[in-house]
Amino acid sequence: MTASPLPGVWRPGEDPGRRQFAVLRGPDGAAFTFEAGGSLPEVTVAYETWGTLDRSAGNAVLVLHALTGDSHAAGPAGPAHATAGWWGDLIGPGRAIDTDRFFVVCPNVLGGCQGTTGPASVAPDGASYGSRFPLVTIRDQVAVEAALADAIGIERWAGVVGGSMGGMRVLEWCVGHPGRVSRAVVLAVGAAASADQIAVCSLQMRSIRSDPAFAGGDYYRTGNRPVEGLALARGIGQVSYRTGREFDVRFGRSAQASEDPLKGGRFAVESYLEYQGEKLARRFDPNSYIVLTEAMNLHDIGRGRGGPARALSGVRADVSVAGIGSDRLYPLEQQRELARLLPGGRPVTVIESEFGHDGFLLEVDQVGAVVASALAG
């Protein structure tokens, strides 16, 4: 096994860890053609599984990650996985997503950088796609996930679960493939990206593209990645993911250790944001960040379907919606709108948290209770 020449990008030939792979094509073996008109001749999807698929293939649960997540939803960190599973406390024997009962599948999303085809992947001409990678939408990502389900023999999911960008894909599964989802859990997202969300995301993308090392998206051949731009993008995002109250309690106006802001030093909260940015820059590809952020900005469950009310009226799955009370990026009013538009009229479950949007990852007990109840059916 060799080390990746690009930090944050998994390459074929490296230690796969828990990853499995499926090489997929579109309908009738054709290339995948995407909503905005681009295409890919084929798509490799990296995915991980836990538990055992039963004889009827009726116990499968699809878990969908957020922007900077990947297929490693559960399990320890190691040579092949930079971090421990992002929902490891929810997936396993006897846990909310009980692997003694369910066969759990988590794919790395189209456009990602951890084994699924994305901008860093090698195109048929032998060079990375880079700036040539097509614009993809949430709908395109789910089309690839549906092809994966076909490939591994799952006609209908017992449950589909996800938060944030993962929640967008849960909604798209319910609307675009209504006969293939029995139960669903949508966390911390709305029916369409709002102007506020698009604004925050646009600044993040601009920070990456403004980095001199970005090279128009073709930095793979230069040996120099736009790490400063990605770190700044993550810092902008981190402010929106958390809350002002949390920052006040954790940092207040305190200075970083041994630094004096009056003499050019940093406040502690500045150091925290720099650390979060640098940490992400070591494990994620800047182009993937842009591709996935663009997909989130384009999220609109009602596009071409007569609007969100009409689109959601056709959902047949039993859908549970939850939101974070302190979420300033995806506020509760968006989840309440979803609940009003979905058949059944089930109320939103409010998860209380000081962590804002990140509560869907951090409030394990509350989120686990929502998920376990939904999957209990």
Residues taking part in catalysis: 164, 327, 357
Q: How far apart are CA 76 and CA 84, in angstroms?
A: 4
In angstroms, the first-to-last Cα distance of the chain is 44
Q: What is the enclosing helix (H) or strand (E) of 336?
A: helix 332-341
Distances (CA, A) of 163 to 67, 189, 224: 10, 7, 33
Task: Give the DSSP letter string of 159-216.
Answer: EEEEETHHHHHHHHHHHHSGGGBSEEEEES--SB--HHHHHHHHHHHHHHHTSGGGGG
β-bridge mates for residue 351, sequence order: 324
DSSP character for 140?
A: H
CA 199 from chain centre, in angstroms, equals 19
Q: How far apart are CA 115 and CA 10, in angstroms?
A: 6
Say which residue the tokens 């698929």 belong to: 53
350: helix, strand or coil = strand
Dihedral, 137, 143, 146, 147 alpha carbons, nearest 10: -130
105: helix, strand or coil = strand
In the chain, the largest separation of any two C-alpha atoms, in whole Å, equals 68
